[in-house]
Amino acid sequence: MSQFIKENNYLDHAATTYVRQEVLEKMLPFFAEKFGNPSSLYDIAQESKNAIEESREICAEILNCSPSEIYFTSGGTESNNMAIKGLLSSNSVDYRVISSSIEHHAVIHPIEQLSKRGVEVVFIDVNKNGLINLESFRKKINKSTKLVSFMYVNNEIGVVQDLRLISKIVKEFQQENDCDIIFHSDAVQAPGKLSLDTEILGVDLMSISGHKIYAPKGIGLLYIRNGIEVHPLISGGGQENQMRSGTENVPYIVAFAEALRLSDIERHENERKMKKLSDLLISTLNDRITDYKLNSSRDNCVPGIINLSFPGYEGESIIIGLNFKGIYVSSGSACSSASLEPSHVLSSMGLTKEESLSSIRVSLGKYNNENHIYDFVNALEAVLSQLASYKK
């Protein structure tokens, strides 16, 4: 564990995680010793190639798919772009894409780009808990629908969508209407928390990223079900079975597979721990800070992502106040945290602009413990009372 993690209270694991020791150890030899280009023919190159293929097999096992369906990318953003834009070149623009109003920008923005090129785009609304309105989805799915993209776990509030049910709706529609619809899911926040079994989930495309599960930033994968035609975004030397050219980042691929493997082994234990800590967080908040709103519904969200609003306070000020005390949390998603616009996720759930701007997100991780929760609530109480004193 790094010195920083030992000495600070890092509660922003949905933004990113540090690289865990086992993962670091696994990747290190591939920087200076086993550095061969996997496309070359001599033995150190073959070592790199074998490491990539072993990593692909590890990932495939966890996703319950064939290794030939795993494509390594630079992370969630690239995988989402590949899934969404990669379909455009294989189809005319005369089709519909359906997604939800609470997707990450790495899904919303590529879809908006398709919309500018003439594709019809429909964003389905969510209820007050962040669950996609499936009745509205059923009404919007039609024969010209080519792509449905719904995220698995939301990064701001942790709400989990029922992918099995959604894929059932898609499949039934396809069968009744004899059409082809591709179901993609941005599952970047799901590893280590939920099953990634692509057969059970019924997804055709699925995006995953390494830096949410203690692997480095800049590595991830796109699962592409065999038979689905996705056009590459990057062409060149033809790596990743022509789908993603460029010399492979072997150390990161090895690290990612190890992190995914460990996160899958530890999934149930992790879930129990997150539940215990989030229950403690909420009960301590209830005892100590009464005027707050819990935006992550306990029944529909993963326990480790907890979104809270503090009416009358600015989320940004709370975050900075906590930062001074060595406590790290965020507002909404890290990508939008530099702006003072209300989160599109919280707005879609019906929160007012004020409620949204007063929100913070706490996301728990592997090394958090009960002391971190108590320290967080103590610090929060102090920050809120300090901010209240400025108002007087």
Ligand X SMILES: Cc1ncc(COP(=O)(O)O)c(C=O)c1O
Just list the catalytic residues: 335
Q: Which of 36, 38, 76, 342 binds ligand X (CB under 6 A)?
A: 76
CA 355 to the chain's CA centroid: 24
DSSP secondary structure of 40-58: S-SHHHHHHHHHHHHHHHH
Span near ligand X by CB under 6 A; candidates 60-68, 75-83, 308-316, 377-385: 75-83
Cβ-Cβ contacts under 8 Å for 268 (sequence gap 6 or more): none
Can you tell me the distance from the alpha carbon of 280 to that of 376, in angstroms, rounded to the nearest whole number?
11
CB 356 within 8 A of CB 345: no
Please state, in angstroms and as integers, the Cα–Cα distance from residue 31 to each residue in 35, 239, 306, following that order.
Answer: 6, 19, 37
130: its two tokens: 């962040």
Question: In the range 98-117, which residues lie near ligand X by CB under 6 A?
Answer: 104, 106
Q: Which of 155, 295, 343, 359 binds ligand X (CB under 6 A)?
A: 155
Give bridge partners of residue 182 from the DSSP assignment. Answer: 147
Q: Which residue is nearest to ligand X (CB)?
A: 76
**12 vs 258, which CB is nearer to ligand X?**
12
**58 vs 222, which CB is nearer to ligand X?**
222
Q: Binding of ligand X at residue 9 (CB under 6 A)?
A: no
Q: Which of 102, 131, 151, 182 binds ligand X (CB under 6 A)?
A: 151
**77 vs 145, which CB is nearer to ligand X?**
77
Residue 249 CB coordination number (10 Å) = 19
Write down the least CB distance from residue 171 to ligand X, Å.
24
Can you tell me the distance from the alpha carbon of 283 to that of 287, in angstroms, rounded to the nearest whole number?
6
SS3 327: strand
**189 vs 296, which CB is nearer to ligand X?**
189
Q: Binding of ligand X at residue 216 (CB under 6 A)?
A: no
Span near ligand X by CB under 6 A; candidates 89-97, 181-189, 197-205, 346-354: 181-189
Residue with tokens 């995953």: 208
Cβ-Cβ contacts under 8 Å for 67 (sequence gap 6 or more): 53, 56, 57, 59, 60
**77 vs 278, which CB is nearer to ligand X?**
77
Q: Which of 99, 100, 149, 189 binds ligand X (CB under 6 A)?
A: 189
State the first-to-last Cα distance of the chain, in angstroms, to the nearest integer: 43
Q: Binding of ligand X at residue 186 (CB under 6 A)?
A: yes
Question: In the range 347-376, which residues lie near ligand X by CB under 6 A?
Answer: none
DSSP tag of 12: B
> Pairing mode, if any, of strands 120-124 and 359-363?
unpaired
Write down the least CB distance from residue 157 to ligand X, Å.
11
Q: Binding of ligand X at residue 331 (CB under 6 A)?
A: no
Cβ-Cβ contacts under 8 Å for 256 (sequence gap 6 or more): 55, 59, 72, 210, 215, 216, 219, 220, 221
φ, ψ for residue 48, nearest 5 deg: -65, -45
Question: In the range 191-210, which residues lie near ligand X by CB under 6 A?
Answer: 209
Can you tell me the distance from the alpha carbon of 117 to that of 97, in angstroms, rounded to the nearest whole number?
12
Write down the least CB distance from residue 186 to ligand X, Å.
5
Write down the least CB distance from residue 147 to ligand X, Å.
16
Write down the least CB distance from residue 345 to ligand X, Å.
10
Write down the least CB distance from residue 292 to ligand X, Å.
24
Span near ligand X by CB under 6 A; candidates 51-59, 112-120, 185-193, 351-359: 185-193
Residue ranges that bind ligand X, judged by CB under 6 A:
75-77, 104, 106, 151, 155, 186, 188-189, 209, 211, 220, 333-334
